[in-house]
Structure 1
Amino acid sequence: MTDAFIDIPGVRNFRDAGGIGALRRGVLYRSGSFHTLTPEGAQRLKALRLRTVIDLRSPFELEVWPDLRHGLDHETLNLPTLPANREDVDRPWPEDQATLYPFMAATAGPSLAAVIRRLAAPGALPAVVHCAVGKDRTGLTVAVLQSLLGASEADIAADFLLSNTGLDLLDGPTPYVDETGTERVSRPVSAELLASALGWIHDHHGSVPAYLRAHGTTEAELTAVRANLS
């Protein structure tokens, strides 16, 4: 495994999102959820001095699989990437990965703007961004942050693809049981998937900063988040 991965017992796919573009190491991490975090894992997180955990999962996921803390004193924010209700969106709900990524780009603006707002605040770092397994929702969120810090498309995609290693998806899809008890299949990610989401952002807004500004992010927040993460 690449040295970006950090072994946190009970947390899948935990790694440092920095080291590309101007995003420095040790300030932004990405992972799967903490709902099976062990006491040993909590001690390793404590050593990272985490101040903020941003959970991109739905309220229902949090209810079924709440993050464990084991005495950790970080602040937790729930900023769901996807709309809570299918009725709240004016486009078809995604049925596969190919439609999920543009859909996330189209609907995640409020969540992403809130992520920027938190990470721009004094005392927010180090932080970790996570969803269920740290692959799709986390992948897009971290890609937007890395883009803001000047990382190249190739480096962003290479970091994104590390989830296939972190989740043992290099040999193809694997079955899992979701928060409703339904058996599903976890599929590997590809550079094309991420490109489809970032392409939607560029097609509709011209740039990542313009996309974020359209959802209420201020220039001061963009400046602050770049300063905090670099």
Structure 2
Amino acid sequence: MGPAIVDPGRQRVAMYSDLDPRRWVEFAEIDNVRDLGGLPVNDGGTTRFGVVYRSSTPQQVSEADLAQLLGPVGLRTLVDLRTPAEVAQEGYGRLAESAVRLVNLPVCKTASAAMPSDLVPDAHQLDQCELYRELLSGSGESMVTAARLIADTGHHSVFFHCAAGKDRTGILAAVLLDAIGVRAEAIVADYVLTADRIVRIRARLATMASYQGLPPLSRTGIFAVDPAPMRRFVAGLRAEHGGAANWLRANGLTAAELRDLRRVMVR
């Protein structure tokens, strides 16, 4: 038997996978919540804890979950990346009756996209990186508005989520993190952490009206959590736009807002 072949890209991701165990935040009825703190920034320092969190849909929060969100987490603003049709059908559960500000900023390829099936018309021929580029291209206003909210300390802490907390959420996370100078492999590592929760995520989504008929878990379908597409997406941001900071500026974020985003997210 010859020597084992090791993918150096996967090795680099593994370096960051357990960077800080405080990043996972556990809830009874939300499956994929992590703090964007603790990630290394290119010019030194790390991202700040307690400012912004990424999540799967939190619509089924229990009373204890809500108490945790409003108490220790300090949630003030929920940025919802789902389509308006998903929001109308699924709602926000207990969050709708809380003091949390709910902001719907859809991430979709076109304004006419209604449901997840419209975002991915053929899951069997899926090129995730190309999907991410198309979603980014169709969602400039949503991305800039989300960055603007996070840059304002009056909105903290901020949760952003879609359904699974993987694709639409992963794109916004990548844009924010690249814009403030987080290392590329740390961005990819943050993305692939969803693999730890994907079985649980799919099982919960399958109970909801908007996500009936979901494909099974596989290495190539919409539930795949492969570092390669995100690595290509981040590389494309840098090659085609000079990085996410330039992309945000081109889509309306001001230089002052970009400085504020870096100030509040990096310590």
Shared fold (TM-score, shorter chain, > 0.5): yes
Structure 2 equivalent of residue 167 of structure 1: 198
Structure 2 letter corresponding to 1:54: V
| Partner SS for 2:169 | helix
Change (3 A) 1:136 1:67: same
Question: In the alignment, is the contact (CA less than 8 A) between 2:132 and 2:233 conserved in 1?
Answer: yes
* Deviation per residue, 1:111-164 (Å, 9 max, x gap): 111111111224111111111111111111111111122211111111110001
Report the more deviating stretch, 7-16 or 188-197.
Answer: 188-197
Q: Does 1:84 align with 2:111?
A: yes
Match of 2:230 among 191, 194, 212: 194
Name the TM-score, length of structure 1 as normaliser. 0.87
Match of 1:112 in 2: 143
Other-structure match for 1:34? 58
Structure-2 separation of matches of 1:175 and 1:43? 21
Secondary structure of residue in 2 paired with 1:183: coil
Q: Which runs of 5+ in 2 are unaligned?
A: 1-17, 216-221
CA offset digits 1:153-203 (Å, max 9, x no partner): 11111111000102238xxx8795464453112512211111232233234
Distance 2:203 2:61 in 1: 22
Q: TM-score, normalised by structure 2?
A: 0.75
SS where residue 228 of structure 1 aligns?
Answer: helix
Pairing partner for 2:131 from 100, 118, 125: 100
Equivalent of 1:183 in 203, 209, 213: 213
- Structure number with greater Rg is 2
Aligned-pair CA distance for 1:226? 1.1
Task: State the SS of the aligned residue for 1:128.
Answer: strand
- 1:63 and 2:88 aligned: yes
> Could you list the runs of 5+ residues in structure 1 that have no partner in the other structure?
none
CA distance in 2, matches of 1:122, 1:211: 22
Please, what is the CA RMSD of the aligned residues? 2.5
Structure whose residues are more often helix by fraction: 2
Query: Are residues 181 and 188 of structure 1, via their aligned partners in 2, closer, same or farther at CA, if it must alter by over 3 Å?
Result: closer
In structure 1, distance between residues paired with 2:159 and 2:34: 9
Rate the CA distance shift 1:220–1:144 in 2: closer, same or farther, 3 A: same
- Would you say the 8 A contact 2:55–2:162 is kept in 1? yes
Return the alpha-carbon distance in structure 1 between the equivalents of residues 22 and 264 of structure 2: 23
2: distance between equivalents of 1:9 and 1:175?
12
Contact 2:180–2:245, Cα closer than 8 Å, also in 1: no
Give distance in 2, aligned partners of 1:49 and 1:148.
24
Name the SS for the 1:69 alignment partner: helix
CA distance in 1, matches of 2:140, 2:91: 24
Name 2:23's counterpart in structure 1. Answer: 4
**Which residue is 1:43 aligned to?**
67
Q: Work out the CA distance in 2 between the residues paired with 1:136 and 1:120.
A: 22
What residue identity is the alignment partner of 1:14? V
